[in-house]
Chain A
Amino acid sequence: MAELVAGLRLLVVEDEALVAMLIEDILLDLDCVVIGPVGTVAQALALLHVEEIDGALLDVNLGGGERSYPVADALAARDVPFIFVTGYGETGVERRYAPVTVLQKPFDPRSLERVVADDLAGSSAKPARAGRR
């Protein structure tokens, strides 16, 4: 697993600092490069323009009513795979993103590792990039 994911440049969008730090730690342990974490759509879209990104982990609800869907759509348009991380479970994600993997909070670090390897590593066709239907 480690060789698959090491060196991946992963964008982390998560508004709660404590949770963002945990995700960052797990990804750093996997030798990934963390882009972010950022807590707003605007910050995430800005990073998309300047950073090379291999994949992304998106918290759905960014607080203040903001959702990360515009980031998901921008990633899908660029063919960058992404997954959702949410406290709402699968019912908390809009139906049009049905093929995208949803990781429920709180998560086991190993589940996060597995999702990164399964959905964000490698350039082969993955369900995670089917953001729109």
Chain B
Amino acid sequence: MLGYAVEMAAEDLQPRDRQEEREGRFRAEAALRESEARFHLLADSIPQLAWMAQPDGWIFWYNKRWYDYTGTTLEDMEGWGWRKVHHPEHVDRVIARIQQSWQTGEPWEDTFPLRARDGGWRWFLSRALPVHDGEGRVVRWFGTNTDVTELRNAEERQKLLLGELNHRVRNTLAAVLSIASQTMRGTRSLKVFREKFSGRLLALSRSHDLLARETWEGADLGDVVLETLVPYRSEQPSARFAVSGPKVRIGPTAAVTLAMAFHELSANAAEHGALSVPAGRIAVEWSVDWRGGRTPALDIQWQESGGPPVSPRGARGFGSRLLEGGLAQELDAEVRFDFAPAGLECRIRLPLSAKVAAGLPDH
């Protein structure tokens, strides 16, 4: 009956009407084609990978970026083929969660790695939204995958940096505690404690400034020496200091310990040695000795002259303990003091091991 009625209706149409109807259909198809072309252009131009699925999750379309990234074809990927480009450690979770959305019709979101055509993996934040018909039924899903690898790497780096910073702060506080405790042991008056403690703390702080300038990768030995002499150089004519040696890069931990050692030598010179009289001079020289096999040795010489007559002191303070004990232990150094009447001499010889040197001078 229905077929007949339709046939009748068609027969009723005048030729002009048929012409209009054909043109109308043609226009509608053209409009649809144009709209689809526009959609594909849009879908291919967005930076995301994009796809569409039937209400049950069967994926029937991917944008060009998906194929470009994964190096796959629609044949590989159609339906549930997308599992092939998922990471084995993540795929089960991804399937469980996306199936929940297919069943409930709730928007989907997940973050996981997808395999690139070269076999590498990148991380994607992925979302899918259901498209509803007039009666609220899901007619299809539209999904995107956004590459968040750089973001994740930046977050990882930040976490790592914060962890390192925290570690450094904790170690520094432990070092400060140590300096305070040892300064206390050696001094009876609060005034002397304050002077010595702040001097040591400032020396520690300057060594950190020096390292911070080069993102804590190391420091130049010459800069470490000059930095420790800063408080004395500002008061005294610089002709009193001679600092010379080849360019040697020192690792961060070694740089801090050496800076503290030079500080102790300078503070001692200011109190008892060459810096306690106007005519006193200090020469710091170093050289690299390549004769000892694979690991070269660094020879540092601290030589005071023109000061008051020197006599060996009995009690071991923080300074001599740091130099003779600390340097020896941490940097495997040999430290020798010569209390020559003309001026204190301190010789430090340490292997330029990977721990000490951040970079070796040219051979």
Residues of A within 8 A of B (CB): 15-22, 25, 36-40, 61, 63-64, 66, 87-88, 92, 104-107, 109
Q: Which residues of B contact A18 (CB under 8 A)?
A: 174-175, 178-179, 257, 260, 322, 326
Main secondary structure of the interface of B (DSSP, over half): helix
Contact: B178 with A39, CB < 8 Å? no
Contact: B182 with A21, CB < 8 Å? yes
Contact: A88 with B174, CB < 8 Å? no
Closest residue of chain A to B318 (Cβ to Cβ) is A21
Contact: B327 with A88, CB < 8 Å? no
- Give the one of A16, A40, A63, A66 with max B CB within 10 A: A16
| Bound-state Cα–Cα, A18 to B171, Å | 10
Which residues 53-105 of B have a CB within 8 angstroms of A? none
Q: Which residues of A contact B273 (CB under 8 A)?
A: none
Closest residue of chain A to B173 (Cβ to Cβ) is A106
Residues of B within 8 A of A (CB): 163, 166-171, 173-179, 181-182, 185, 251, 253, 256-257, 260, 321-322, 325-327, 329-332, 354-355
Partner pick for A63 among B177, B260, B321, B355, CB 8 A cutoff: B355
Q: Which residues of A contact B329 (CB under 8 A)?
A: 17, 20, 36-39
Contact: B174 with A21, CB < 8 Å? no
Contact: B168 with A16, CB < 8 Å? no
Given A18-B326, A20-B329, A22-B181, A87 and B168 contact (CB-CB distance below 8 Å): yes
Given A17-B326, A39-B329, A105 and B163 contact (CB-CB distance below 8 Å): no
- Give the one of A15, A18, A37 with max B CB within 10 A: A18
Distance (Å) between the CB of B21 and the closest chain A CB? 74
